[in-house]
Amino acid sequence: MRSQRIFDVGNALEPMVVKWLRDDGWEVEYNPGSQNAAFEVVVPVEGGEIRGHPDAFISKGEEQNILIDIKTMNDRAFRLWKTSSTESKYPQYADQLNIYAWGAKRAGRKVDWQAIVGINKNTSEMWIDYVDYSLLRITSIMERAEAIFKMINPPEVNCPAQDWACGYCEFSHLCELCKRKTNNAVGDEVATTEDEEVINAMEILQEARKMNKEAKELETGAKSVLDEKVRAKGVKSVSGGGYVLTFKESVKSQFDQAAFKKAHPEMVSEFTKSVISLTYELKEI
């Protein structure tokens, strides 16, 4: 039910996005509809065919014949996608665009580029991210499709589908793996969730860590410039641009654990205790 609502919201916003594109000066050939779109891509593979339809073709100035698909995202997902690209954040979108482009070219349509037009549902910001056309990717997609069409028995238990895909699969109620993944996990097992608060919290944590890393790199670079341009000349304080910077040196006492361990190894175990620490290991899948 939730998955259907997500699709409904995206479909409802599509005409508005088309208007925004036209307001920005794009020529838009809109291709609305789901199963009844005016232009449908048909990609034949052994055993069947892949069908779908791009949302539109857009052109402006030197950027001509761009096949696009419109995606709506919440604020955090949008910002992560915008900074990391479609290829790294949503490779399934890149797969979709490549198949659409291949099918469109096969049908005689001129396609110079393919792109995702992303919309931030919280702020209404719009961003266009171009995706490379890859025959290697297209071949891989078609080979996977052919393998599925040739299947006689259900997929193996180690189905490679990512967890998010299970929520969109109409056969998830028949899949033993999906049933196992949606149960509450215990011990070392991995549970799945559709709880928006949990998902948003993980996205915030991931984004915070990336921002923290970038901030540290920026700080290191800035200090390097200040050391070279100011402190190395013996200047202890400098002002400019509304800022005042002062270099302050301080002396701190620090316990030398390595030296103590070397000098008094017999005392280390006596004054060492075990403590439990919690690490939040987070990775994108």
Does residue 175 lie within any of the structural domains? no
Q: What is the pLDDT of residue 1?
A: 47
Q: How many domains does the chain have?
A: 2
Q: What is the pLDDT of residue 278?
A: 86
- Is residue 9 located within the same domain as residue 145? yes
Please tell me the least confidently modeled range out of 22-26, 87-91, 198-202: 198-202
Does residue 256 lie within any of the structural domains? no
- Is residue 140 located within the same domain as residue 231? no
Query: pLDDT band at 27, cuts 50/70/90?
Result: very high
- Is residue 25 located within the same domain as residue 135? yes
Q: What is the pLDDT of residue 34?
A: 67
For residues 241-278, one letter each, b for 16 or more C-beta atoms within 10 angstroms of the residue's C-beta and e for the rest, the string is eeeeeeeeeeeeeeeeeeeeeeeeeeeeeeeeeeeeee
Q: What percent of the chain has pLDDT over 90?
A: 42
- Is residue 139 located within the same domain as residue 219? no
Q: How far is CA 139 from CA 98, 99, 146, 222, in A?
A: 10, 9, 10, 46
**Residues ≥6 apart with Cβ < 8 Å to 87:** 94, 131, 132
- Is residue 126 located within the same domain as residue 10? yes
**Average per-residue pLDDT for the chain:** 84
96 vs 141: CA distance, rounded Å: 9
Reading phi first (left if > 0) and then psi (alpha if -120 to 50, else beta), residue 246 is in beta
- Is residue 79 located within the same domain as residue 207? no
Q: Give the highest mean pLDDT range of 84-98, 176-190, 204-218.
A: 84-98
Find the domain containing 137 and state its range.
2-152
- Is residue 144 located within the same domain as residue 7? yes
Please tell me the least confidently modeled range out of 23-32, 40-49, 152-161, 247-256: 152-161
Does residue 262 lie within any of the structural domains? no
